[in-house]
Structure 1
């Protein structure tokens, strides 16, 4: 896929991997960024003329329909939808600081928003002149869980099967459904978690390489090793990831 003169929607595009994707694509494309932080959106809009910003809290399902209608009214054709936004809460269910309200918020951002935006923006994706793409950013935790962040792991596992099933539903249309599985990346979400992270810039470059090739399942960095390990010795993969 030639990423030039495309209309690209990306969620969570004001920091981390999403921001790096915006930085790498904005010059030759129209980028529509959906994020919650209004201040960062304003800064992004001032910096790049080809970036259009929509403020939305994806943890609130009530925002999905009006947000999608606003986008389609201005951009009836969309070439790429990148579902990148995600949140991960580390406290265990047994920890005293675990917040019950975070369960719904995490599921909504990581999974419900992806399903909803993929459906609601489908008419605009169908209107693309050529091949269009839904790209879901996923994690190795979608197929090997860790002890903490169980809601995150479950939402990513759900995203994996949703992406596969949706690709079957759309296989006779002009829309491809792709996934990029990323290892631990140095972003605000992962501060204080783990070592040997890859940079957000490196992750974004790898994600875009897979998008250009239209890889249905693009394993980045150590995810390649983890998938092989999980296939050959799943018990070992589980032990390694359990305390990650």
Structure 2
């Protein structure tokens, strides 16, 4: 799908990869951005004329339902839903700074809210000749690391959800895509890893993948990871364990 003159919903569009996608897409499309931070949404509205913003904490399903209801009532149809928002908590279950209450919040933001928002906005996506649901995923969906167990689990769940949803919608106008990213330099990854991809590079390649209708888009070293998992799975798992 060529992303031109489309109505696009983006979650987590005020920072990182989401913000870079807004920058890329804004000149030629109409954008709806969902984020938790009201100040950042106000800044986004001032910077990008015409962007429609909605404040919602995606860890609270009642707010997910409320924002979906507002979008459905205001817009008869949308072309693209980009489920981008995610959080990652790095402590292990054995670390002193692990916080029990973060478990449900991380699962809800990274997975449950995506399932919910997708279902609630489905009627608007079915109104177009061609629509796309794009889920932003990670190479950690294919093989986990030692830290961030909840994050890895939600990304693995998102991978399976995306594939199953694709089967469900294959006779409709909606294409279901996902992108698997290598480590990207964002606020979430500060202080971790090396040789990171910039958020701008990630956003550009994500958008190119949508334009080329790539169903499962492996970016950067994820291509190598998938090959290793096929031909040398034990080596792949060993590498990712220390990632």
Report the TM range for the smaller structure's normalisation: over 0.9
- Report what 2:144 is aligned to: 145
Distance (whole Å) between structure 2 residues aligned to residue 182 and residue 50 of structure 1: 29
Residue 68 of structure 1 aligns to a residue whose secondary structure is: helix
- 8 Å contact 2:57–2:64 — kept in the other structure? no
Residue 105 of structure 1: aligned partner: 105
TM-score when normalising by structure 2: 0.99
1:73 aligns with 2:110: no
Which residue of structure 2 aligns with residue 13 of structure 1? 13
Q: Does 1:155 align with 2:157?
A: no
Say yes or no: does 1:94 pair with 2:94.
Answer: yes
Alpha-carbon contact 1:29-1:50 (below 8 Å) kept? no
1:199 maps to 198
> In the TM superposition, what is the alpha-carbon distance from 1:50 to its structure 2 partner?
2.5
Alignment of 1:235 with 2:234, yes or no, is yes
Q: Distance in 2 between matches of 1:124 and 1:219?
A: 28
Report the number of matched residues. Answer: 243
SS in 1 for 2:132: strand
CA RMSD, aligned part only? 0.6
TM-score after normalising by structure 1 = 0.98
Structure 1 gaps, min length 5: none
Contact 1:139 1:181 in 2 (8 A): yes
Tell me whether 1:182 sits opposite 2:181 in the alignment.
Answer: yes
Q: Is the 8 A contact 1:181 1:218 kept in 2?
A: yes
Structure 2: gaps (5+ residues): none
Alignment partner, residue 52 of structure 1: 52
C-alpha offsets along residues 94-147 of structure 1, whole Å, 9 cap, x if unaligned?
11110111000100010001100110000000011x210000000010010000
**1:17·1:187 contact (CA, 8 Å) conserved in 2?**
yes
Residue 8 of structure 1: CA displacement? 0.1
Alignment partner of 1:32: what SS?
Answer: strand
Partner of 1:220: 219
Q: Is the 8 A contact 2:2 2:210 kept in 1?
A: no
Equivalent-residue separation in structure 2 for 1:200 and 1:3 (angstroms):
19
Q: Note the C-alpha offset of 1:189.
A: 0.5
Distance 2:72 2:6 in 1: 15
